[in-house]
Amino acid sequence: MHYFVPKRCTESNKIMYHDKATAQQAADQSWRERGTELWVYRCGFCGTWHLTHRDPQSSYMHVSLNQQLKPHSRKKGYKPRRR
């Protein structure tokens, strides 16, 4: 007996859907079978459609490591260096 093995994205290892309608059907099926709400988005790496559990309307925003703010020292008497 052969089972269907879906193709997966090399970057995110998520199932690849060729069009948005197919991905939305899979998200709807997940809601009916498991009660899990999923959203559809287009992958920037492979160009196909994927499912995610994060709401795209949420305020989540990816910030690269070199742009994150560094914590300031909380030591008493801390003075920043003069330049």
- What are 7-37's pLDDT values in tens digits? 999 888 999 999 999 999 999 999 999 999 9
Per-residue pLDDT reduced to its tens digit, 33-74: 999 999 999 998 899 999 999 887 775 666 666 666 666 656
pLDDT at 75 over 90: no
d(CA 3, CA 13): 19
How far is residue 68's CA from residue 59's CA, in Å, rounded to a whole number?
Answer: 16
Residue type, position 17, single letter: Y
Indicate if the pLDDT at residue 78 is higher than 90: no
Query: In angstroms, how far is the first alpha carbon of the chain from the final one?
Result: 72
How many Å apart are CA 23 and CA 82, to the nearest integer? 56
Average pLDDT score over residue span 2-7:
83
* Residues comprising the chain, all counted: 83
